Amino acid sequence: MYSENAWKKYTDKELKDLFKFNDEYIEFLSNNKTEREITSYSVKVLEENGFKDLKTLTSVKAGDKVYAVNRGKNVAAFIVGKEDIEKGLNILGAHIDSPRLDLKQNPLYESSDFALLDTHYYGGIVKYQWVARPLAIHGVVVKKDGTVINVVIGEDDNDPVICITDLLPHLAQDKNTKPGTKVIEGEDLDITVGSMPLKDEEKEPVKKLILNILKEKYNIEEEDFLSSELEILPQGKARSMGLDSSMVLGYGHDDKVCAYTSLRAVLDTKETERTSCAVLVDKEEIGSVGATGAQSRWFENVIAELISKSKDGYNDLMLRNTLTNSYMLSSDVSAGFDPLYPGVFEKKNSSYLGKGLTFNKYTGARGKSGCNDAMPEFMAMIRNVMDSNKISYQTAELGRVDQGGGGTIAYILANLNMNVIDAGIPVLSMHAPFEVVSKADVYEAYKGYIAFIKDIK
């Protein structure tokens, strides 16, 4: 079903299932906007579906369902297959971080009778898109005694929201002559959070009222910002989009749409011949670095632990063989063809909303720099499985050659000598506060991921 419009094939029942699945995705996207929130959600639904924490088990056998968590920001879910694990795993790997604004460690200040929060943007945002729109605060504050305070401000209907103010067009003559990357500078992305002074307070009275509110509602002191992780995110729920409700508008489709469909694929699979896995990682938007990024040794260590608990004895060669014999879909989104900007795409090699799961043999930039270039033998296996299961799919590159480019976690896992290819969903307005995907593509990705973990051998 290569490069065909998926909407044309659905029966009435299939359409009903498709819209139901997307309603569930919209609820997930609306309620889980950060890496920690997604990890907590994942553990909850995994345990509800019979998965057990790998750390609590002394051994695993075929049919067992287990999971592992790393630092509250990574989760991996496994169904132990009937085959010897050393023959390899079928892996779905997605990232759960998205472009946003982070609060600095000393963020709160007062200027001209306003209280503001200083930010540092995270990932490839378009800065001018973040001004003059309602924003919310999500994250954690950790007290010196180790107490973790979960913070969500702005999402409840009774909550106030915050925003970054913008200059009125009447006074923007100089500003409007700047290039798009300079219209809003990074240091100008400060959040307005208050304007009411604390009575009978002479020095920084507006800031002190905000501190009083934080203390009263959340038991947060100013110095607690030093050990906090607070993200500024677009406020509001994901919504159906279009008069036909064929699309989803929401924050963080990149890459939460692939994370959700990957997780659901494992949750909804009863058993597999090969051990299957969905792994959700952090920090992709800034290079997959750090202890929770894909470059961490954590996932490799979890597989080593799984091997040691499923076989008599363990050695490093078993781990190397397992990785070499594994197949992986790097479940990450692709740039959907936008009819408003056709000049940056090469039409024959672009992904289109409504044509299903998108495979990117390579990403990277210019001369394929920084990409994983998947083996054609692996692509042939993928084609066979997708066609056998009547999955709508397409292939694409990330725009015209020399126009730009981008990367995923694919090359990192390929460095472990496993077969990896990018497989995700086309997105419009990628990295904007609200992105757009097709409900058909979401559903085809879910079905395609199930087909991959069950049938790739």
The CATH number for 156's domain is: 2.30.250.10
Q: Which of these, 327, 307, 302, lies nearest to 413 by C-alpha position?
A: 327
Domain of 162, in residue numbers: 100-234
Per-residue model confidence (pLDDT) at position 313? 85
- Report how far apart, in Å, the C-alpha atoms of 325 and of each of 87, 314, 360, 379, 420 are: 6, 17, 21, 16, 11
Instruction: Report which DSSP code applies to 327.
Output: E
CA distance 127 to 184: 6
Contact 39, 96 (CB under 8 A): yes
Residue 244 placed within a domain: no
| Cβ contacts of 338 within 8 Å, gap of 6 or more | 345, 428
Based on the domain organization, do 116 and 180 belong to the same domain? yes
Per-residue model confidence (pLDDT) at position 311? 87
Per-residue model confidence (pLDDT) at position 116? 98
Based on the domain organization, do 351 and 405 belong to the same domain? yes
Residue 242 placed within a domain: no
Based on the domain organization, do 346 and 366 belong to the same domain? yes
Count of domains for the chain: 2
Based on the domain organization, do 404 and 256 belong to the same domain? yes
Per-residue model confidence (pLDDT) at position 324? 97
Count the helices and strands in the chain (H runs, E runs).
10, 22
Based on the domain organization, do 355 and 434 belong to the same domain? yes
Residue 450 placed within a domain: yes
N- to C-terminal Cα separation, the chain = 21
CA distance 52 to 69: 11
Average pLDDT per 10 consecutive residues for the chain, totaling 457 residues = 93 98 98 98 98 97 97 97 96 97 97 98 96 97 96 96 96 92 94 96 95 95 97 98 98 97 97 96 96 96 96 92 97 95 93 97 84 92 97 92 82 94 96 98 98 96
Q: Could you count the other beta carbons within 10 Å of the beta carbon of residue 303? A: 25
| Cβ contacts of 98 within 8 Å, gap of 6 or more | 33, 123, 251, 252, 254, 255, 256, 285
Q: Could you count the other beta carbons within 10 Å of the beta carbon of residue 172? A: 13
Based on the domain organization, do 259 and 307 belong to the same domain? yes
Residue 255 placed within a domain: yes
Based on the domain organization, do 303 and 389 belong to the same domain? yes
Based on the domain organization, do 313 and 403 belong to the same domain? yes
Per-residue model confidence (pLDDT) at position 300? 97
Based on the domain organization, do 189 and 289 belong to the same domain? no
Based on the domain organization, do 109 and 141 belong to the same domain? yes
Contact 324, 418 (CB under 8 A): yes
Per-residue model confidence (pLDDT) at position 136? 98
Based on the domain organization, do 293 and 405 belong to the same domain? yes
Residue 373 placed within a domain: yes
Structure tokens belonging to residue 387: 């066609």
3-state helix, strand and coil shares in percent for the chain, rounded to the nearest 5:
35, 25, 40
Structure tokens belonging to residue 181: 């990357």
Structure tokens belonging to residue 182: 């300079």
Q: Could you count the other beta carbons within 10 Å of the beta carbon of residue 196? A: 12
CA distance 210 to 213: 5
- Report how far apart, in Å, the C-alpha atoms of 457 and of each of 83, 88, 384, 385 are: 10, 9, 11, 10
Q: What are phi and psi of 28, to 5 degrees?
A: -60, -50
Q: What are phi and psi of 134, to 5 degrees?
A: -70, 135
pTM for the full predicted model: 0.96
CATH number of residue 84's parent domain: 3.40.630.10
Long-range contacts of 376-382 (CB under 8 A, 24+ apart): 378/327, 378/419, 378/421, 379/421, 381/327, 381/456, 382/421, 382/423, 382/452, 382/456
Based on the domain organization, do 395 and 331 belong to the same domain? yes
CA distance 65 to 271: 9
Q: Are strands 239-241 and 100-111 parallel, antiparallel or unpaired?
A: unpaired
CA distance 254 to 436: 10
Among the candidates 199, 234, 269, a domain finishes at 234
CA distance 133 to 233: 10
Residue 246 placed within a domain: no
Residue 243 placed within a domain: no
CA dihedral defined by 407, 413, 418, 422, rounded to 10 degrees?
-30
Q: How many CA atoms lie within 13 A of 239 on its CB side?
A: 8
CA distance 367 to 348: 19
Per-residue model confidence (pLDDT) at position 363? 86
Contact 85, 91 (CB under 8 A): no
Residue 239 placed within a domain: no
Per-residue model confidence (pLDDT) at position 402? 79
Q: Which string of DSSP letters, residue by residue, matches 252-264? A: THHHHHHHHHHHH
